[in-house]
Amino acid sequence: MLVLASASPRRKELLTQAGFSFTVQQSSIAEDLLPSESPIAYVTRLAREKAQAVYEQLAPRHTGDDPLIVLGADTTVVAPDGEILGKPCDRADATRMLRKLSGATHQVITGVALISEAVKPTGTETAAEVTYVTMTTISEDEIGAYVMSGEPMDKAGAYAIQGYAARFIPRVHGCYFNVVGLPLSLVTDMIEGVTRRLHAVSPAELRS
């Protein structure tokens, strides 16, 4: 039984696109950055905490022969000056973020965590994917119009590469799906590796 510990519609769409059968269980954890925490440490910690919270909810009442596997993920944007950009708190913050990204290359980092009884000794497997994204120079009018569209408001770094902001992005070096919110190749390798170790189900049985 594969469970996605995220309410993100983009992650749900991507995991479905990859052919996996799964359920969704939202996790509620604080996403505050710890002092001196690196971007990779930050996203892998949040991914692990999301997966752990959902696993602890479901494991006590999980029955049957289908082993419980919980997938957590968290994505952040790292500005060229090193600032970690989460979701903007308001339009002014979204504008500030887009100004930082305009005309430069930044990083998008997704942390991924899998929790199951097959992962020993801690029960958790974590990894991270880094993609480099180049954004054209965006005018103040373009930034203003984009922010007013509402699209940036629930996105890390205040943009959606799969949406209107695609017009601002001429180059992506690395996994495109990572920028959307879930590095599919990495996630597939992790899920299928855990599935093989469980021996109870084959990778094909997790797929629809």
Tell me if residue 121 falls in helix, strand or coil. Answer: coil
- Is the pLDDT at 200 greater than 80, yes or no? no
Taking CA atoms, 142 is separated from 73, 137, 145, in Å, by 31, 10, 5
User: Which residue from 128, 118, 167, 177 is spatially nearest to 145, judged by alpha carbons?
Assistant: 167
Taking the C-alpha atoms of residue 174 and residue 5, their distance in angstroms, rounded to an integer, is 24
Say what the pLDDT of residue 147 is.
Answer: 97
Residues with catalytic roles:
74
Residues 6+ apart with CB under 8 A from 74: 31, 42, 43, 44, 46, 47, 50, 110, 111
The residue extents of the domains of the chain are 2-206
Most confident of 8-12, 15-19, 94-98: 94-98
Q: If we measure between CA atoms, which residue out of 128, 132, 140 comes closest to residue 169?
A: 132
For the stretch 63-92, pLDDT in tens is 767 788 999 999 999 999 999 999 999 999
Separation CA 179–CA 92 (nearest Å): 23
pLDDT tens readout for residues 95-135? 999 999 999 999 999 999 999 876 655 678 999 999 999 99
pLDDT at 117: 73
Q: Which of 181, 194, 195 is nearest to 43 (CA)?
A: 181
pLDDT digits (tens, 9 = 90+) for 133-192: 999 999 999 999 999 999 999 899 999 999 999 999 999 999 999 999 999 999 999 998
pLDDT at 10 over 80: yes
Is the pLDDT confidence value at 208 over 50?
Answer: no
Cβ atoms of residues 68 and 59 within 8 Å: yes
Task: Please report, for residues 101, 155, 165, 168, the alpha-carbon distance to residue 162 in angstroms, rounded to integers and kept in the order given.
Answer: 17, 11, 7, 11
Name the token pair of 122.
């801690």
Question: What's the confidence (pLDDT) of residue 49?
Answer: 95
Among 3.30.1180.20, 3.40.630.30, 3.30.479.30, 3.90.950.10, name the CATH number for the domain at 2-206.
Answer: 3.90.950.10
